Structure 1
Amino acid sequence: MAAVRGEHERDEDRDQCQPRDGERVRKLLQGRRDGAGRHECGKDTPVAESLSLPGFVDAHSHGFQRALRGRAGGTDFWEWRELMLAEAERQTPALVRREYVQVYRELRAAGYTAVGEFHYLGFDEALAAVDAAAEAGIRIVILLAAYGRGGLPRFRQESVNEYLKQVEDLRGRGILVGVAPHSVRACPADWLEEIGRYAAAERLPLHVHADEQPREIEECLGEYGIRPIELLDRTGCLSERTTVVHATHADGAELDLVARAGARVCACPTTEANLGDGFLPVERVCTRGIGICIGSDSNVRIDPLEELRELEGIARRQAGRRNVISTETLLCFGADEGAGSLGLEQWDDVEVDLSHTSLRGVEDVFEALVSGCGADVFLEA
Structure 2
Amino acid sequence: MTSTLTLPGFVNAHSHAFQRALRGRAAGTDFWDWREGMLAEADRATPDSVRTAYAGVYREMRAAGFTAVGEFHYLGAAEARAAAEAARDAGIALVLLHVAYERGGLARMRQPSVAAYLDEVEALREEGIDVGVAPHSVRACSRSWLEEIGRYAAREGIVLHVHADEQPREIEECLAEHGCRPIELLARAGCLTERTTVVHATHADDGELDLIASHGASICACPTTEADLGDGFLPALRIRERGVPLCIGSDSNMRIDPLEELREIEGIARRQSGIRGVFGTDALLEMGSAAGGRAIGLAGWSEIEIDLDHCSLAGVAAEHVPAALVAGCAADVVACSR
Gaps of 5+ in 2: none
- Partners of 2:182 and 2:51 in 1: CA distance: 34
Higher relative contact order (CA 8 A, sep 6+): 1
Q: Could you say what the CA RMSD is over the residues aligned between the two structures, in angstroms?
A: 0.8
Kindly provide the CA deviation profile for residues 180-233 of structure 1, in whole angstroms up to 9, marking residues without a partner as x: 000000000000000000000101000000000000000000000000000000
- The alignment status of 1:368 with 2:324, answered yes or no, reads yes
Alignment partner, residue 73 of structure 2? 119
- The alignment status of 1:273 with 2:227, answered yes or no, reads yes
- Partners of 1:295 and 1:377 in 2: CA distance: 19
- Partners of 1:248 and 1:374 in 2: CA distance: 25
Out of 18, 36, 49, which is 1:95 matched to? 49
SS of match in other structure, 1:145? strand
SS of match in other structure, 1:379? strand
**Higher-helix-fraction structure:** 2
Out of 73, 77, 81, which is 2:31 matched to? 77
Out of 189, 192, 196, which is 2:146 matched to? 192
Deviation at 1:72, TM superposition (A): 4.7
Deviation at 1:73, TM superposition (A): 1.3
SS of match in other structure, 2:69? strand
Determine if contact 2:26/2:38 at 8 Å carries over to the other structure.
no
Q: Which amino acid aligns with 1:305?
A: L
Query: Bigger radius of gyration, 1 or 2?
Result: 1
Q: Percent identity?
A: 67
- Partners of 1:119 and 1:186 in 2: CA distance: 14
Alignment partner, residue 263 of structure 1? 217
- Partners of 2:336 and 2:46 in 1: CA distance: 29
- Partners of 2:22 and 2:251 in 1: CA distance: 12
Deviation at 1:178, TM superposition (A): 0.3
Q: Which amino acid aligns with 1:130?
A: A
- Partners of 1:102 and 1:220 in 2: CA distance: 37
SS of match in other structure, 1:67? helix
Alignment partner, residue 116 of structure 2? 162
Q: Which amino acid aligns with 1:260?
A: S
Determine if contact 2:26/2:37 at 8 Å carries over to the other structure.
no
SS of match in other structure, 1:380? strand
SS of match in other structure, 1:239? coil
Kindly provide the CA deviation profile for residues 259-282 of structure 1, in whole angstroms up to 9, marking residues without a partner as x: 000000000000000000001100
- The alignment status of 1:325 with 2:267, answered yes or no, reads no
Out of 328, 338, 344, which is 2:292 matched to? 338
Q: Which amino acid aligns with 1:366?
A: P
Gaps of 5+ in 1: 2-47
- Partners of 2:145 and 2:26 in 1: CA distance: 35
Q: Which amino acid aligns with 1:303?
A: D
- Partners of 1:140 and 1:380 in 2: CA distance: 18
- Partners of 1:296 and 1:182 in 2: CA distance: 17
TM-score (norm 1): 0.87
SS of match in other structure, 2:11? strand
Kindly provide the CA deviation profile for residues 303-332 of structure 1, in whole angstroms up to 9, marking residues without a partner as x: 000000000000001111111011000000
- Partners of 2:196 and 2:26 in 1: CA distance: 33
Alignment partner, residue 83 of structure 2? 129
Kindly provide the CA deviation profile for residues 350-377 of structure 1, in whole angstroms up to 9, marking residues without a partner as x: 1100000000101311110110100000
Alignment partner, residue 146 of structure 1? 100
